Chains A and B, each alone.
Chain A
Amino acid sequence: MSTDVQHSPDMNDPARKSANGELIRLERVTKRFGDHTVLDHLDFSVEAGKHVTLIGPSGSGKTTILRLLMTLIKPDEGTITVDGDQLFPAPEKQVREVRKKIGMVFQQFNLFPNMTVLRNITEAPVTVLGLSKDEAEERARDLLELVGLTDHVDKHPAQLSGGQQQRVAIARALAMRPQVLLLDEVTSALDPELVAGVLDVLRDIARSTDITMLCVTHEMNFARDISDQVLMFDSGRVIEAGTPEKIFSEPEHDRTREFLSAVL
């Protein structure tokens, strides 16, 4: 099953993207909240299929990047491009198209409490992608197998533990077959003993699919484990970037060293 999660034919279609396989590009993106400038003319890009982790102190703008990409907020300036198509600025119709390529898992799960686990996962594939109910349910059951929750199909979110809810949320995001999966501190709201189960599922997905991942996390071991690239953020800027080995073993920047010694 797991190899079936991500089959995007255009992922490898060179005509769709620039030569270096860039999937996400933010150009001179500025985001202010009131007087506070979170991102200041940020340039940022992610290559297709890479697993990129954003680390850094809170308030440094990591989550803001994910929220901009998910179109939950709009930048004040700049452009955002996904897979060669502009996401911002863009007309609503185009935003809806481009957004299909992006999925997100939230810190607080945000499952729909009025729906069963199964319907949480099938709702969007049916109403947005136009899958038949049977197709969507088959896809949902496969994904529930992947996240180890086949016994909980007909339960409501309130009947599940936080870790189980988060795994349903991962399945729900994957059911849309996005090219990019945004993970926003997905284990921060979980009891410590439930964290491992969620991270295992994500490791599995990272290894067995070609999905692009963009994570904000405080789980440094997880970041080390799945990332191709780690970006250290401070005050809305990338102050250091590199492989996890380099960032965690021999950080160059003082701020990175301070941050890592505080969290590790």
Chain B
Amino acid sequence: MKQQEVLFQYLLRLGDTNLILGHRLSELCGHGPVLEEDIALTNIALDLIGQSRILLSYAAKAEGQGRTEDDLAYLRDVGQFRNLLLAEVPNGDFAVTICRLFLYSAYTCELLTLLCDSKDEYLAGYAAKALKEATYHLRHSTNWMVRLGDGTAESHHRLQTALNRLWMYIPELFDGDAIDVQLQETGIAPDPNVLKEKWNTRVNAVLAEATLNRPPDQWMGKGGRDGIHTEHLGFILAELQYLQRAYPGNQW
């Protein structure tokens, strides 16, 4: 694959994951367990969608077909989305919402730290900005992981259940393919194996503090980065893209 095409695909993976997770969190706006948390989750949704705009705009530029961030977000169908499956998982209870955010933020914090040294200057600049936000997402979700894990018997049980449920989507985060290899060779993106080690160290420490058991590794749920998604993504896009699909070509 040509370098620009590889970069385009990589940027879609990053941008789509943030868009879909941001969409999931935005579904909770107005329905948080307490007003302060409503504000915090909305803030995180805003950060993720904001990051996605930067990534999708850059992806469109790398592609060079004259598409925009909105063309990519609103006019692609399920099979063209490249997000991680973890982002699609429904919000469930607050334990699922927080655990999903924690597992993902622990990943993005490591990824963005390494991307700050990317040979792609634009991506490096993006990473430096996004890392500040991701650091807050990780801190916020870590605090809740510990509070819920070491809170009441009920909160502990709910969080352990959420963790067990989400664990199948973790291997996909580190499952490198030809795109990763090519970008790694050119110094644009990091080695997924390095990320995995750092992620494990961080996650294990938080799980221990939260008195949670690390689930055994299992058969992985993957395919998101190749366009094979869960059943949920179709519904997310039906909602997200509704106006653009119902009134094609209009400006809003």
The answer on A and B forming one complex is no
Chain B positions within 8 Å of A, measured between CB atoms, are none
